[in-house]
Amino acid sequence: MNDRNHTYTLDELRLESRMGAPGTDAVHREIRRIDLSDFEHRRAEITDQLWRASQEVGFFQLVNHDIELDRVRAAFIDAERFFALPASVKAQYPLHKGQNAGWESLAQVRPSTGTPDQKESYQITLPQMDAQWPSEFELPGFQAAMLDFERQCWKVGMQVLSCFADRLGFERDFFTRAHDPAADDYQSTLRLLHYYAIPAESREQLGLWRAGAHTDFDSLTLLFQRDGQGGLQVCPGKEVEGQAWTSVPPSSQVITCNIGDMLMRWSDDQLPSNFHRVRNPLAHEYQGPRYSIAFFCQANRSAVIQGPAAKYPPITAGDYLQQRIAANFTAN
């Protein structure tokens, strides 16, 4: 690791550590919806819309994408089945520090809050899964269904990234190659998330977050939310100082996307990676569990991140991610 990379990481963490305050809630902003239907014919128009939404807001929602609603619903049911397994079973597949595969509970401490996210999660990163799948006996059909869903998410992610590649002046399949799922160093990750129901005694307990404010480390995140299970809030980059948060209404029909730190760096900061968080429900809101599913398009470890104008020195995606993960998890 050279000194400039080190400084860059510390700067990011310094900003993140300031983002844990409640800030101003519920500022209304339009979350743009981008229609992916008839993608190949409408590619130029879609690219324009994606680019503008990413530059101006950093978050957007995809509609009429290629993943069937029934498929999304089935993935949520599989996620519920996984999390309903006894802790002793899930603990056989632990997330190890520095890895992106396996189960953790209350282990992710964000620099913004210093408290563990009130959740459990299970991450699937294809080359790291040898000992990390629950058995067919424990959870029949789960592995095959998740592999299929992972691939569908990857395809949508690569469609969107191909538009950014066009606009950045890279070859159209540049990011597809950098996120090649056949490579041993593939590190895109499907993450199932279960935020715990809020026990009566900790309602509105200050300082507890379902997910503390953070930016994502990856290139692009695809997030699935379930109807009625809100809480996701975003703070567009330009307004970081004011910490004014906007709620993203949950809908299982859309995929909410955000730009991650890798793509921000890869675009020489033209595309901002924005802060977001999942807040605990307020007293009058639904207090039950919340499930979400994220797909992180994370460039393969050996992919070299450098923008068209070479604003930053090159760094491999592996080195880049390692630095970010090390700052986010307690030892386990």
Ligand X SMILES: O=C(O)CCC(=O)C(=O)O
Footprint of Fe ion (CB under 5 A): 216
Phi-psi category of residue 202: left, alpha or beta, with phi > 0 → left and psi -120 to 50 → alpha: alpha
Q: What is the rounded distance in angstroms from the CA atom of residue 262 to the CA atom of residue 244?
A: 24
Q: Which of 120, 216, 239, 261 binds ligand X (CB under 6 A)?
A: 216
Of residues 46 and 321, the one with the C-beta less far from ligand X: 321
CA neighbours closer than 13 Å in the CB half-sphere of residue 119: 24
Q: Which of 158, 161, 223, 297 binds ligand X (CB under 6 A)?
A: 223
Q: What is the rounded distance in angstroms from the CA atom of residue 267 to the CA atom of residue 286?
A: 39
CB 41 to ligand X: min, Å: 32
232 binds, among Fe ion, ligand X, none (CB under 5 to 8 A by kind): ligand X
- 297 scored as a contact of ligand X (CB under 6 A): no
- 124 scored as a contact of ligand X (CB under 6 A): no
Q: Which of 9, 128, 176, 292 binds ligand X (CB under 6 A)?
A: 292
CB 70 to ligand X: min, Å: 21
- 123 scored as a contact of ligand X (CB under 6 A): no
CB 245 to ligand X: min, Å: 13
Of residues 92 and 328, the one with the C-beta less far from ligand X: 328
Of residues 16 and 216, the one with the C-beta less far from Fe ion: 216
The dihedral built from the CA positions of residue 159, 164, 166 and 171, taken in this order, carries a sign that is negative
Would you call 10 helix, strand, or coil by DSSP? helix
Q: Which of 65, 276, 279, 324 binds ligand X (CB under 6 A)?
A: 276
Question: Do the bridges between strand 102-105 and strand 119-124 make them parallel or antiparallel, or are there none, so unpaired?
Answer: antiparallel
99 CB-contact burial (10 Å; exposed 0-12 / middle 13-18 / buried 19+): middle
DSSP letters for 247-287 = E----TTSEEEEE-HHHHHHTTTSSPPPEEEEEPPPTTS--
Q: What is the rounded distance in angstroms from the CA atom of residue 232 to the CA atom of residue 248?
A: 6
158 binds, among Fe ion, ligand X, none (CB under 5 to 8 A by kind): none
Closest CA to 292 of 228, 244, 237, 236: 228
Of residues 133 and 329, the one with the C-beta less far from Fe ion: 329
- 232 scored as a contact of ligand X (CB under 6 A): yes
Inter-residue contact 117 to 212 (CB < 8 Å): yes
Q: Which of 50, 271, 294, 299 binds ligand X (CB under 6 A)?
A: 294
* Site size toward ligand X, by CB under 6 A: 11
User: Which residues bind to ligand X, rule: CB under 6 A?
Assistant: 191, 193, 211, 216, 223, 225, 232, 276, 278, 292, 294
